[in-house]
Amino acid sequence: MAAEGGGKEMNEIKTQFTTREGVYKLLTHSEYSRPNRVPFNSQGSNPVKVSFVNVNDQSGNGDRICFNVGRELYFYIYKGVRKAADLSKPIDKRIYKGTQPTCHDFNHLTATAESVSLLVGFSAGQVQLIDPIKKETSKLFNEERLIDKSRVTCVKWVPGSESLFLVSHASGNMYLYNVEHTCGTTAPHYQLLKQGESYSVHTCKSKSTRNPLLKWTVGEGALNEFAFSPDGKFLACVSQDGFLRVFNFDAVELHGTMKSYFGGLLCVCWSPDGKYIVAGGEDDLVTVWSFMDCRVIARGHGHKSWVSVVAFDHYTTSVEESEPMEFSGSDEDFQDQMIHLGRDRANSTQSRLSKRNSTDSRPVSVTYRFGSVGQDTQLCLWDLTEDILFPHLPLSRTRTHTNVMNASSPPGGAPVITTTPTTTTTTTTNGNNSGANTPALNSVSSSLPRSNSLPHSAANSATANSTNKASAGSGTGIMDSAIATGVSKFATLSLHDRKERHDKDHKRNHSMGHITSKSSDKLNLLTKSKTDPAKTLGTLLCPRMEDVPLLEPLICKKIAHERLTVLIFLEDCLVTACQEGFICTWARPGKVGLLSSQNQASSPSGTVV
């Protein structure tokens, strides 16, 4: 995408960026931070994290934001793109001694205008349940640190539950708690419930029910983050040993695993329909893993340092339908893939995707949008497109790299590429259409394979598309697409050639030290064969770089002075935060409203210049 202010130095912090939907703009007066707006000296402190909840109050301004900065925890009304942030009036503010908040999560089921349940995890291992509206501290779990003494890395309410929550620690253990139960005055005794490759699950042995209900030991080293699938049935965990492990949560069974290219995995998220998982970490890559096929289907390279957060944009996942086409023998493959899960999800994207299995064989083209932020202070946005998701379909309307030669001679006279722009319906998990949908997106989406394997793919798309329009009804649109795809193919190959030497260095310098230190010999024996990089590289667990498509980011912008720790997609905006304690709101295209026009003349505050 075109960089803002072309000739300006690379180091300049961006206040807006452009994608196919339009321009995203930083709303400087919607910045949240500590009330004094002074940058926080973040040396040695835990990452700044942000949690949102909607309390459905009558005023129509029900969004609430919670964030931690150092030893402090803040709770504000979040005004987003509508009004400037008023930092002088936090609803609640807490300063902790001897320990720091590391993560937090609201219970969305129980939230009301009068009461919210907020879990807060701490650096010394405790978990606190508080109500920042009633200002009551209700309960403290693991208070004496008898359950686990290590830092809390992630805390989340179990989806659909008012009382169950899951906590992961730097020890590599996860614990299931019930807010109604106590933790007991002695260290818990455990009984083995289930054991598998590199994981074990224990129940708590006691006369009366007490916390924790379950103890999960997963992999080696810290368990850095976990995420529940959209339907709440599966749990994805990423660990310092570099493994993504996906469990059936209720059955306590391992569904599948993936190994990072290098180093630990730090973050994980699910696509809105639960079909794909994206993980990021110390290999500077984002890795896309198929839940159904249990394999890596793409990697994205854009960050220059560790990737700290990955997140799907539920509001820009687009689904489009085109004219009916004949499939040569691949319809059954599709049905197998699409209905493999056999789960009903109340998700409009999912229901539209299922039309691909219908008897009239109406193909659906889907684009998943996800984002990532990293320690390199950069925000990257990525599109996961049909040619990456379904490379085995030779008659897919969006061409794949491997079918370039067939593009000019469609078999059986079936229409292969529709050269007129099709309508794109942007859907969300709750069925609302977002405003981030413009004719520009529709027109680009009808021509090229929209994978991001070329840095200038957007410019190429626009050019090819204008050619398509000029020659609608003739065969040139197909040829242009084939040529452009060919260019994309060879550009990707040359990129891999350039990376070959880099890959060899990577293989030589795998830092496995942190895995063998601080872990028991028994665990090492159990998992040594799994974590040996020489044995996993080139397997399904960790394919070589040249064996999977390499995505290029749609945009890659430096947006902060300090490392980025938060990326959240909301309906009108996206929210980022950096380690200096500044939480920034970026208005989606067309969502800027009155706020920015009123304040345009004012100088920006905080870290963004």
Q: What is the DSSP string of 420-488?
A: SPPPEEEE-TTSPPPS---HHHHHHHTTS-----STTHHHHHHHHHHHHHHTTTSTHHHHHHHHHHHHH
Residue 602 CB: number of other CB atoms within 10 A? 10
Condensed to tens digits (0 to 9), the pLDDT of residues 546-571 reads 999 999 999 999 999 999 999 999 99
Condensed to tens digits (0 to 9), the pLDDT of residues 70-113 reads 999 999 999 999 899 999 989 999 999 999 999 999 999 999 99
Condensed to tens digits (0 to 9), the pLDDT of residues 13-26 reads 999 999 999 999 99
pLDDT greater than 60 at residue 165: yes
Q: Does residue 357 contact residue 368 with C-beta atoms inside 8 Å? A: no
Q: Does residue 485 contact residue 407 with C-beta atoms inside 8 Å? A: yes
What pLDDT is stored for residue 321 in this prediction? Answer: 54
> Please, which residues have CB within 8 angstroms of residue 427's CB and are 6 or more apart in sequence?
317, 318, 319, 348, 349, 352, 433
The residue written with tokens 């399904």 in the block is: 540
The CA distances from residue 580 to 45, 81, 88, 457, 561, in Å, are 10, 22, 19, 34, 8
Strand 550-551, strand 295-301: pairing: parallel
Looking at residue 463, its amino acid is T
pLDDT greater than 50 at residue 457: no
SS3 105: strand
Instruction: Report the C-alpha gap between 62 and 78 in whole angstroms.
Output: 8
Confidence of residue 386 (pLDDT cuts 50, 70, 90): confident
SS3 337: helix
Condensed to tens digits (0 to 9), the pLDDT of residues 121-149 reads 999 999 999 999 998 768 999 999 999 99
